[in-house]
DNA sequence: GCAAAAGTGTTCTTCGTACACCCATGG
DNA sequence: CCATGGGTGTACGAAGAACACTTTTGC
């Protein structure tokens, strides 16, 4: 960052794009918006927008998230994912996009969308062999976000971000099963989750909403990191760019 | 990314900054350059510079790395770290900086520096209680890079990126000991490292450069991910933003 | 031979997995 | 009283930690 000569450098626009994940009807879903203008008019894209002069990147992500979903940051886990800046990723001009990953519980209203014309929760499984691709390089960003989420619930307590404020051990286990696409022994999971200190905080209440014997209700505990982690079988490598934390 | 009205959005400059780490004389060191102009004139900063019109972010990082160290990307591991864009992090104008983490073996020439006036390998330990702070928010970026590196060598084979092309198990163990700041049982480490398939590739050669009985020389294996990982004791949380991979 | 580092074997304990079994509710 | 899911006990085997011990060099 030496001599800055504006004539040598083109105008660069900086945007934030959001990979907002939730679990609906036992499926992992991502929030997509339909583009109203060119380029990629009519195609689905990740929600996002330009950063504003006075806001930090995290603030821009929180603002966009609120505009698209009506959610405030305390209800949702948000972390920076990665930044994408290939020269021609947007045909109009040079756009560098800072992507964020957000994990939300199943939302009462699908999306309020004070802003976006058409926003929708889309099961990620339905995007795999799809004809209609996502706009820009959003498919790449989405895949990076998915891998980050899959890897991060191993060693952090983030899986609880997919659950509502009070949840049962079985509901938490369903999160792992859906995000990882595997089945987990309910009894061993129960033992491990309840014995990991700081992971689950008992409320003293019970529920029978899942049928059968009443289950204890828990809140998210204070622990950020799980040690030992909850490891998934070593079939797919966890390969992304997030270290634990952020 | 709806209506783009340039008048509503200020000019934004995008830079890449590099956290280049190596091990010299049994210390973890970072490459710093001394700033020749205001702001922060005379202070130490991470190397970096503006992105150019036709290059992707990764290319910009590789170019800056080559300019500062003379190293080409195949000698060094490089991955994107995170992006920093607080409104006034650079007093001159709005600058969004995409930070990269690079891990290099101990370099024959400290730095060639065809470009930077004054570049130096600085032990990170010497930066802790230091009076002279780093320029901009580079201390924050450096800390994020350090935590990423510490966490990433647990579950990837990246520790070998700190070693020269051919290395012994003991030299690899020293990397872990230095980066994590702990001591590791040499015998158990040897067993674990040599039995992790894809981690080490035997060359058939031996060396006595570390004294004692001759040691086998190995090359970096093909494995990116280590399973099971080499876990450090659970004192400090590994908290960053890198998932394995990248 | 002695120091120093490489490398192997063994023991102990901890932890994950599999699964038998009991508990508490709704219908 | 039976189906359903919640929750506990236990046995087996794999893997990590600690450390005794052997190997191969330089001096």
For B67-122, write each residue's pLDDT tens digit.
Answer: 888 888 888 999 999 999 999 999 999 999 999 999 999 876 555 555 556 888 99
Q: What is the pLDDT of residues B187-245, one digit of tens each?
A: 999 999 999 989 999 999 999 998 899 999 999 998 888 877 887 765 433 333 344 33
Give B126's contacts (C-beta < 8 A, 6+ positions apart): none
pLDDT of residue B129: 74
> What angle separates helix A186-195 from helix A169-180, to the nearest 10 degrees?
110
Q: Which residues of B touch A237 (CB under 8 A)?
A: 224-225, 244-245
B-chain residue closest to A235, CA distance = B227
Q: Is strand C in 7 Å reach of the CB of B233?
A: no
Rounded to the nearest angstrom, the minimum Cα separation between A210 and chain B is 33
Question: For D16, which residue's CA is nearest its C1'?
Answer: B188
Closest nt to residue B212, judged CA to C1': C5
How much is the pLDDT for B171?
97
Residue A49 with chain B: CB contacts under 8 Å:
1-2
Helix and strand totals (H; E) in chain B: 4, 9
CATH match of A155-220 with 1.10.10.10: yes
Q: Are B38 and A3 in contact (CB under 8 A)?
A: no
**How many Å apart are CA B191 and CA B195, to the nearest integer?**
6
Asked if residue B125 has pLDDT above 60, the reply is: yes
Q: What angle do CA A227, A232, A238 make, to 5 degrees?
A: 90
Q: What superfamily does domain A6-139 belong to in CATH? A: Nucleoside Triphosphate Pyrophosphohydrolase (3.90.79.10)
pLDDT of residue A119: 86
Q: What angle do CA B209, B212, B215 make, to 5 degrees?
A: 60
Q: Look at residue B239 in the predicted model and tell me its pLDDT.
A: 36
Domain positions in chain A are 6-139, 155-220
Q: pLDDT-derived band of residue A130, with 50, 70 and 90 as boundaries?
A: low
What three-state secondary structure class fits B176?
helix
Q: Is the pLDDT of residue A106 over 90?
A: no
Residue A221 DSSP code? -
Which chain B residues have a beta carbon less than 8 Å from that of A38?
none
Helix axes B169-180, B138-155, angle to 10 degrees: 140
Residue B103 CB contacts under 8 Å (≥ 6 apart), including other chains: B21, B22, B76, B77, B149, B158, B161, B162
Query: Is the pLDDT score of A22 beyond 60?
Result: yes
| pLDDT greater than 70 at residue A2 | no
- Compare all CA atoms of chain A with the CA of B156 and give the residue at the minimum distance: A239
Q: How far is the CA of A212 from the C1' of D1 (A)?
A: 15
Coil vs helix vs strand at A123: strand
A78: Cα separation from own chain's centroid: 7
Distance from the Cα of B182 to chain A's closest Cα (Å) equals: 19
CA A189 → C1' D8, Å? 13
- Identify the weakest region by mean pLDDT among A194-208, B120-134, B223-237: B223-237
In 3D space, the residue among A69, A221, A80, A99 whose CA is nearest the CA of residue A160 turns out to be A221
Q: What CATH class has B157-220?
A: mainly alpha
| pLDDT exceeds cutoff 70 at B9 | no
**Closest-CA residue to B15 (of B78, B101, B99):** B99
pTM: 0.90
Intrachain domains B6-149 and B157-220 with the same fold: no
A166: pLDDT strictly greater than 80: yes
Question: Per residue in A41-64, pLDDT tens?
Answer: 899 999 999 999 999 999 999 999
pLDDT, position A239: 36
pLDDT value of position A117 = 61
Evaluated on CA atoms A77, A78, A82, A87, the torsion sign reads: positive
- Report how far residue A33's alpha carbon sits from residue A224's, in angstroms, rounded to the nearest whole number: 31
Amino acid A238: pLDDT: 37
User: CB neighbours (10 Å) of residue A235?
Assistant: 8
pLDDT tens-digit map of A82-105: 999 999 999 999 999 999 999 999
CA of B14 to C1' of C12 (A): 57
- Which residue from A224, A234, A242 is facing B237, i.e. has the nearest CB? A224
**Span A17-38, average pLDDT:** 93
pLDDT score for B57: 98
B228 touches strand D (CB under 7 A): yes
Output the six-digit token pair for A77. 């886990």
Chain A residues touching residue B45 (CB < 8 angstroms): 1
Strand D close to A153 by CB, under 7 A: no
CATH topology of domain B6-149: Nucleoside Triphosphate Pyrophosphohydrolase (3.90.79)
The number of C-beta contacts closer than 8 angstroms across A and B is 172
Cross-chain Cβ contact B239/A225 below 8 Å: yes
Q: Give chain A's count of helices (H) and strands (E).
A: 4, 9
Residue B126 has pLDDT above 80, yes or no: yes
Most confident of A163-172, B9-18, B36-45: A163-172
- C-beta within 7 A of nucleic chain C, residues 191-230 of A: 191-192, 206, 208, 211-214, 228
Question: A70 pLDDT band (50/70/90 cuts)?
Answer: confident
pLDDT at B186 over 60: yes
- Per-residue pLDDT of B151-169, as tens digits, reads 999 889 999 999 999 999 9
For residue B150, the surrounding DSSP H or E stretch is: helix B138-155
- Between the CA of residue A217 and those of A201, A221, B8, B208, what are the distances in Å? 9, 12, 49, 61
Q: Measured at the alpha carbon of residue B221, what is the angle toward residues B217 and B223, in degrees to the nearest 5?
A: 155
| Closest B-chain CA to A234 | B227
Residues of chain A found within 8 Å of residue B10, distances taken between Cβ atoms: 53
In this structure, are residues A23 and A107 in contact, taking their beta carbons and an 8 Å threshold?
A: no
- Taking only the tens place, the pLDDT of each residue in B17-50 is 999 999 999 999 999 999 988 898 899 999 999 9
Q: Do B151 and A15 touch (CB under 8 A)?
A: no
């Amino acid at each position: 960052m030496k001599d800055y000569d504006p004539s040598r450098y083109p105008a660069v626009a900086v945007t934030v794009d959001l990979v907002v994940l939730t679990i609906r009807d036992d499926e992992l879903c991502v929030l997509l918006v339909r583009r109203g203008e060119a380029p990629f008019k009519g195609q689905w894209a990740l929600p996002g927008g330009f950063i504003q002069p006075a806001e930090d990147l995290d603030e821009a992500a929180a603002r966009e998230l609120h505009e698209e979903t009506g959610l405030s940051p305390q209800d949702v886990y948000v972390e920076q994912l990665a930044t994408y800046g290939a020269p021609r990723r947007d045909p109009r001009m040079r756009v560098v996009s800072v992507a964020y990953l957000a994990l939300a519980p199943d939302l009462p209203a699908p999306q309020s969308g004070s802003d976006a014309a058409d926003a929708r929760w889309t099961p990620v499984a339905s995007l795999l062999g799809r004809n209609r691709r996502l706009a820009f390089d959003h498919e790449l960003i989405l895949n990076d976000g998915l891998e980050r989420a899959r890897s991060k619930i191993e060693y952090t307590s983030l899986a609880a971000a997919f659950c509502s404020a009070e949840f049962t051990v079985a509901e938490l286990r369903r999160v792992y099963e859906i995000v990882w696409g595997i089945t987990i022994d309910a009894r061993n999971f129960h033992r491990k989750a309840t014995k990991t200190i700081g992971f689950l905080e008992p409320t003293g209440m019970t529920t029978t909403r899942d049928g059968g014997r009443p289950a204890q209700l828990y809140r998210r505990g204070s622990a950020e990191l799980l040690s030992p982690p909850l490891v998934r079988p070593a079939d797919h490598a966890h390969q992304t760019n997030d270290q634990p934390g952020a």
